[in-house]
Structure 1
Amino acid sequence: MAKVDIFSLIRSRYNEFTNTEKKVADYILENIKDVIYLSITDLADACNVGESSVFRFCKTMKLKGYQEFKIALAHSLSLDDDTSQISGEITLQDTIAELSSKILNTNISALTDTFNLINEKDISRAIDSMIVAERIQFFGVGSSLMTAMEAKNKFMRITNKTECSIDSHLQIMSAALMTEKDVAVLISYSGSTKDTIEVAKVAKEKGAKIVSITRFAKSPLTSYSDITLLCGANEGPLQGGSLSAKLSQLYLLDLLYAEYFNRTYKESLLNKESTAKSVIEKML
């Protein structure tokens, strides 16, 4: 996508907008730096319009959708920023020492924010569902798939009922075979990834329990969720796959793992010993 000045684009097409789309445009122009971190649902709520109105607003500007709008917005903000930001507050002028400090603070902040967002009842409900489930399937796309695979790697050491498909077609087929006895754990920072939303929809239709790990309490994904666990990292559209976002997701998964282990101690300990012994021959 060619870089565009989103602010000039909004103003140039303002007269083409419907009254509802003008409400979206006005809010964006008045809250420029906040919008970049909002989900489509959050922006729609802030403007008192529907998600479809936000999507039509993007289409009126000849953009493919909300994510392309956010990317264009990020480009426009960087054009207005003389410090040439790379990500967050990191700039081209930073020394290695400054980079080290800023990255450390960003990651600590992400973990702290996630800790503050933890709802013990939701964690407990998620664990209850996972313990009684016949199968636990982890889903994700792109960088979130890497997190889902790590979750599979973690949990398979203590239970034999976890799965993670790495292809989007295999994921949707797996979702189609789920039942009310299964749990689907869906990982998506934005909660707006089409493939992940489709998996959630299909799994929900099959009666599976849906647990979402995401940044936003309101998003297309969470509309299908039975339990939503929030991560606290702020990731702009040009920072996809940022380590701070992944760390916050892994933190939540580590918490789920530890609590699952505690509640199924005897079985989990036996399985952990068995899986550890199975790979001993692979070590020097």
Structure 2
Amino acid sequence: MEMAQTSGGLVLVKEMRETLPPSEQKIADYILENPQDIVSMTVTELGEVSQTSGAAVTRLCKSLRLKGFQDLKLRINGDLGRKLEITNRDIQPNEPVEALMQKVTDHAVHTLLETVELLDSEQLERAVEAIVQGKNIHFFGVGASGIPALDAQQKFLRIHKPSTASTDLHMGATIMANVSEEDVVVGISFSGATFEVEKIMELASLNGATTISITKYGQTPISEISDIQLYTSPTREANFRSGATSSRLAQLHVIDMLFMSVASRQFDTTITYLDATREAIEEIQSQTFRRKK
């Protein structure tokens, strides 16, 4: 049974605003300025107060990829109840360690919750199915986004899923030259516009591989050319930590959800492979210990 998302409405509206037609932008602006009023309105009432129409409200919900106005109201109501917003994410000169501990943790929690709100369960299910059925899984990311690619490869190899991870365009292109319809390619880019990742996804598509993008929420060059779109929190990085913390954390979170879902789907074989992996590592460690003695 699919669970309804109960928050994240305001993030959806804010991030999609610039891509909406004028009438839907007017509704989006009204929602962002008066979120507490929306939860008690009807479609017609919102159309009137935003000087548009009920039909425009319905179109807005479709643009946001929601099931309808009730879905949007439910999510906004959840946002108002949670009220988890970080106002100052950047660190200050000589900031106390205690303050930094709380600031970094609050921001991490915010990023993870927002990512779950933005993930479409149907898209995640499609990604899981593609990986379960795929012959080889290829992860690609550059810079900070290369870390989740390497983490993903390590995880899936542990459950006997042939995987590669590359962070170099030339190596990635070499791998893409040999993919087929049986393969899955996962491109990771916070911005959704990283040149190298876009090129890799284009090559993968040309050769018939199933492509999965992991990008921040919204329409981006990489998500638009991908078969399956997974989104992470669009929360902006603080200047001092640009590209280093929240985006990486959100990407790792999505990889973890993908891995756990695949592992759950093939539970019996997963346990067998994980046990074999653990035994192999323990044997190597015991041999190393004996040699040192």
TM-score of the pair, normalised by structure 2:
0.65
Asked whether the equivalents of residues 149 and 166 of structure 2 are also in contact (C-alpha less than 8 Å), the reply is no
User: For structure 1, which runs of at least 5 residues remain unmatched after alignment?
Assistant: 1-36, 49-86
Task: List gaps (5 residues or longer) in structure 2.
Answer: 1-13, 23-87
- 2:238 and 2:183 map into 1 onto residues whose CA distance is 33
- Deviation for aligned residue 1:47: 9.7
Matches within 5 A, 1:136-215: 136-215=137-216
Match of 2:256 among 229, 254, 257: 254
Q: Secondary structure at the match of 2:128?
A: helix
* 1: CA distance, partners of 2:267 / 2:103: 39
Instruction: Render the CA deviation track for 1:146-189: whole Å, top value 9, x for unaligned.
Output: 11001101111002311112422010111121111111011110
For 2:108 and 2:263, how far apart are their aligned partners in 1? 26
CA distance in structure 2 between the partners assigned to 1:144 and 1:244 by the alignment: 11
Structure 1 residue 224 corresponds to structure 2 residue 225: yes
Letter in 1 for 2:91: I
Shift of 1:226: 1.0
**Mean Cα deviation higher: 234-243 or 248-257:** 234-243
**What count of residue pairs does the alignment treat as equivalent?**
208
Tell me, in whole angstroms, the C-alpha distance in 2 between the residues paired with 1:147 and 1:94.
Answer: 29
RMSD: 2.4
1:94 CA drift (Å): 2.8
Query: What fraction of aligned residue pairs are identical, expressed as a percent?
Result: 27
Aligned counterpart, 1:242: 244
How far apart are the structure 2 equivalents of 1:47 and 1:97? 46
**Alpha-carbon deviations, 1:28-67, whole Å to 9, x = none?**
xxxxxxxxx97xxx7973799xxxxxxxxxxxxxxxxxxx
Structure number with the bigger relative contact order (C-alpha 8 A, sep ≥ 6) is 1
The amino acid of 1:194's aligned partner reads F
1:122 counterpart residue number: 123
User: CA–CA distance in 2 between the matches of 1:278 and 1:235?
Assistant: 42
Partner of residue 45 from structure 1, selected from 8, 19, 42: 19
| Worse-matched range after superposition: 158-167 or 105-114 | 158-167
What's the TM-score, normalizing by structure 1? 0.67
Aligned partners of 1:160 and 1:111: how far apart in 2? 26
SS at the partner of 2:126? helix
2-structure distance, mates of 1:247, 1:204? 27
Residue 57 of structure 2 aligns with which residue?
A: none
